[in-house]
Structure 1
């Protein structure tokens, strides 16, 4: 088992916390990050997964804790946004580096992308911390938020835990590359999701139009008299 000093790059910064508090540190940091507090949630998850790769932690426990606490934290953020909303953020946000300008920018991005942004929000710095708060402020239905948020958390945890667990000490340079190109990749993902949604909606509309046309045709045919009925009506 390697000492914490051998953790790659910036992952080494969370090693003392992880060494002392273990799984509790993972859950606590991810919870607070998920409702808006700037904290190294993604970093400590990656570091814990590297530890798991060397046998110092259990990867399944790491992944489960990360997923559950991410969902819990986002739902706390949703409640904050729903109950206090912008007033709380404007008054207290400066103490956790959430300025009104940063919130407004995140809201605009959120409004343009709709519900689907919840799925990929965890991969975007800034939105990862604020997506629950913004969903609450915009009064997104809680069940809708919970579903999309759980999907996003599962993808986020699955991606980083698997990557860090498998790559270990090589993760630092790779994460640097990912952060360098995150916006082009996110743009491609958003474009792909948007294209899929548009095509899917068009397909549904066309299918509904065909069904409506078939119903109208059937009703028209049902309203017309058959050959026997027409003959009887003529004789009468």
Structure 2
């Protein structure tokens, strides 16, 4: 992965880092915590400009997010409800509650979601499904992405040859976020499976 990203930046310069980040949005297993510090290190060594790295990586984030927004918009509410209603333990009422929550907190979710591993990509899909106004989505995505990208590009720039230290710490952060998400899913499933009156025998 590192060799591929390095090759992309050697060939295309800062736009190569932007392309890598755009792909990271579409394929979350590609880690931004590797791409961004490497772009910072490349800036420190003079291979690409620091400002160019910041601008291109943020542009890449926005392009990737727009693609996923388009997926959500194409999917639409009706198809989402139809798919969700066929999933085990999921009810249409869950979708309605999610819609109500997104209507109240969608702007915060899109902005802060850009700083959460995994969710930074996925948050664009419900924004598209709910047809969040595109200028609002672009503004929030750009702002959130700029903060996230700048922090890691500058960290890689400052650490130089030790840029990989950033990856180690962010990996711990990513694992913590994932653990919380998995825990929430487990709690949701447990509540649905064992709630009284849903086919589970009550003790006398």
TM range (shorter): 0.5 to 0.7
Q: 1: CA distance between counterparts of 2:112 and 2:2?
A: 23
Q: 2: CA distance between counterparts of 1:176 and 1:63?
A: 21
Q: 2: CA distance between counterparts of 1:118 and 1:131?
A: 6
Change (3 A) 1:114 1:29: same
Structure 2, gaps ≥5 residues long: 89-96, 181-204
Give the alignment partner of residue 50 of structure 1, picking from 41, 56, 78. Answer: 41
What residue number does 2:92 align with? none
What residue number does 1:127 align with? 119
Q: How far did 1:63 drift?
A: 0.7
In the alignment of these two chains, the number of paired residues is: 160
What residue number does 1:24 align with? 15
Whether 1:171 and 2:171 are equivalent positions in the alignment is: no
Q: Normalising to structure 2: TM-score of the pair? A: 0.64
Q: Normalising to structure 1: TM-score of the pair? A: 0.56
- Which structure shows the bigger proportion of residues in helix conformation? 1
State which structure, 1 or 2, has the greater radius of gyration over its C-alpha atoms. Answer: 1
Q: 1: CA distance between counterparts of 2:5 and 2:31?
A: 8
What residue number does 1:162 align with? 154
Q: How far did 1:144 drift?
A: 2.6
Contact 2:37 2:164 (C-alpha < 8 Å) held by counterparts: no
Q: CA RMSD in A?
A: 3.3
Q: How far did 1:55 drift?
A: 1.5
Contact 1:50 1:165 (C-alpha < 8 Å) held by counterparts: yes
Structure 1, gaps ≥5 residues long: 1-9, 92-99, 102-106, 188-236
Give the alignment partner of residue 62 of structure 1, picking from 53, 62, 67. Answer: 53
**Comparing 144-153 with 173-182, which one deviates more in the overlay?**
173-182
Q: How far did 1:122 drift?
A: 2.4
Higher relative contact order at CA 8 Å, sep ≥6: structure 1 or structure 2?
A: 2
